[in-house]
Copies of this chain bind each other. A is one copy, B any other.
Amino acid sequence: MAIIGGKAEQRVSKILEAALEVFSRRGYKDAAVDDIATASETSKGGVYFHFPNKQAIFLTLLDQMADLLLSRATKSMEAELDWPKKGDAALATMLHTFAGHRNLTRLFMIEALGAGREFNQKMLEMHAAFTNLIQAYLDEGIASGYIAPLDTRVASIAWFGAVNEVVTRWILDENGNKLEDSYPALRDLLRRGIGL
């Protein structure tokens, strides 16, 4: 009957919204399902009607975030025609997206790592999704002759790591600088690293 989202879908997204807030405020382990229920104006039973357990809520959030980040990065690359500019655009988009969603970023970069071995596989997949995107980009650059051949697997990991650390520092340092200020230096460094 519903067109854009039935009652159930609305409830689910309300719960996810609340969960994001609670998880990023208290950390995965310290976040109580009760807190999520309260924050989403439901009851514990209500949450468990829509999700089989706490883990599933967290995983859903991680998936959503990865999708958001990847699709934005992809889109911004597609919007550029020039190969080098594609990379710059992706980097800028990533930093911009992170900067705009500090909670989400904390969840994605910090909490998810330490949330327990259950999430290791997921984290690996997510890191891989990003590095694969980067690697494809670098391979394209080599194929089109923009850069000389190099170990794109390691390079993509290093790129991701560099961005990751800049972001992590920004998260950990509660009253630090603006994230986007690092963009120019980071871009130059990454470009030069692949001999561009």
Which A residues are closer than 8 A to B by beta carbons?
A: 27-30, 110-117, 120-121, 123-124, 127, 150-151, 153-155, 157-166, 168-169, 172-174, 182, 184-186, 188-190, 192-195
* Chain A contact residues, majority secondary structure: helix
State how many angstroms separate the Cβ of A10 from the closest Cβ of chain B.
Answer: 21
Bound complex: CA A27 to CA B29 (Å): 11
Bound complex: CA A136 to CA B150 (Å): 28
Question: Is the Cβ of B154 less than 8 Å from the Cβ of A160?
Answer: no
Query: Chain B: which residue is nearest A127 at the CB level?
Result: B169
CB-CB < 8 A to A124: which residues of B?
Answer: 169, 172-173
Question: Is the Cβ of A113 less than 8 Å from the Cβ of B113?
Answer: yes
Question: Is the Cβ of B185 less than 8 Å from the Cβ of A151?
Answer: yes
Question: Is the Cβ of B154 less than 8 Å from the Cβ of A189?
Answer: yes
Query: Chain B: which residue is nearest A128 at the CB level?
Result: B169
CB-CB < 8 A to A172: which residues of B?
Answer: 120-121, 123-124, 127
Bound complex: CA A192 to CA B186 (Å): 14
State how many angstroms separate the Cβ of A149 from the closest Cβ of chain B.
Answer: 11
